Amino acid sequence: MRIAVYPGSFDPITNGHLDIIERAAELFDRLIVAIAKNPLKKPLFTLEERLDMLRETLKFYPNIEIDSFDGLTVNYLKAKNAQVIIRGLRAISDFENEFMMALTNKKLVPRVETIFLMTRAEYSFISSSAVKEVAMYGGCLKGLVPEYVELKLREKFRKEGC
């Protein structure tokens, strides 16, 4: 069975992430969307809230599993018997960091491959930070995030939007 892991912060999941997830799920028998518990990041949403948004958004995809992990992504892959890391590439600016991470992961565990999917052009500008900023100032979130995430952002900032 071909198992891939899409790791990230997902604070929160956006339509850009969703696009990558849907396409990766077509390519593998099983896709694990896993939240990395990064102690250096200060997320807006708690781990439980982020897991809840992933579960709700992805509940109709039969071959997708939602999870979270501590420590190195490559160790998580080993534990899950997975060989592939999925990452999305939005623009040239993503490349440097992604290149560094892919090479570090390969150095740590040579059998691990990172597969990059190019984000669809219409999502290439979306980031979780931008979405949070729009929500904070009550801007329109339509088309940027799944409806359930929009609701959760509205609750967090107590702003109405469009």
User: Which residues participate in catalysis according to the annotation?
Assistant: 17, 41, 90, 128
Closer residue to ligand COA (CB): 3 or 101: 101
Q: How far apart are CA 50 and CA 34, in angstroms?
A: 10
Q: 71 a known binding residue?
A: no
Position among 105, 135, 152, 153 found at the interface with ligand COA (CB under 6 A): 105
Q: Residue 45: how many CB atoms within 10 A of its CB?
A: 22
Q: 93 a known binding residue?
A: no
Q: 150 a known binding residue?
A: no
**Could you please report the per-residue DSSP string of 51-109?**
HHHHHHHTTT-TTEEEEEE-S-HHHHHHHHT--EEEEEE-SHHHHHHHHHHHHHHHHH-
Treating both helix axes as pointing N-terminal to C-terminal, what angle do 128-136 and 147-157 enclose, rounded to 10 degrees? 50
Q: How far apart are CA 138 and CA 161, in angstroms?
A: 5
If one asks whether residue 73 binds ligand COA (CB under 6 A), the answer comes out as: yes
Phi, psi of 12 (to 5 degrees): -105, 180
Position among 29, 113, 129, 133 found at the interface with ligand COA (CB under 6 A): 129
Position among 24, 57, 123, 134 found at the interface with ligand COA (CB under 6 A): 123
Q: How far apart are CA 150 and CA 161, in angstroms?
A: 9
If one asks whether residue 36 binds ligand COA (CB under 6 A), the answer comes out as: yes
Q: How far apart are CA 65 and CA 138, in angstroms?
A: 32
Which of these segments, 44-52, 127-135, 140-148, 154-162, binds ligand COA (CB under 6 A)? Answer: 127-135
Contact (CB, 8 A) for 146 and 15: yes
Position among 46, 107, 122, 127 found at the interface with ligand COA (CB under 6 A): 127
| Binding-site residue set for ATP | 9-10, 17, 88-90, 98, 123-129
| Binding-site residue set for substrate | 9, 41, 73, 87
- Chain contacts with ligand COA (rule: CB under 6 A): 7-9, 11, 14, 16-17, 20, 36, 38, 72-73, 88, 90, 101, 104-105, 119, 123, 126-129
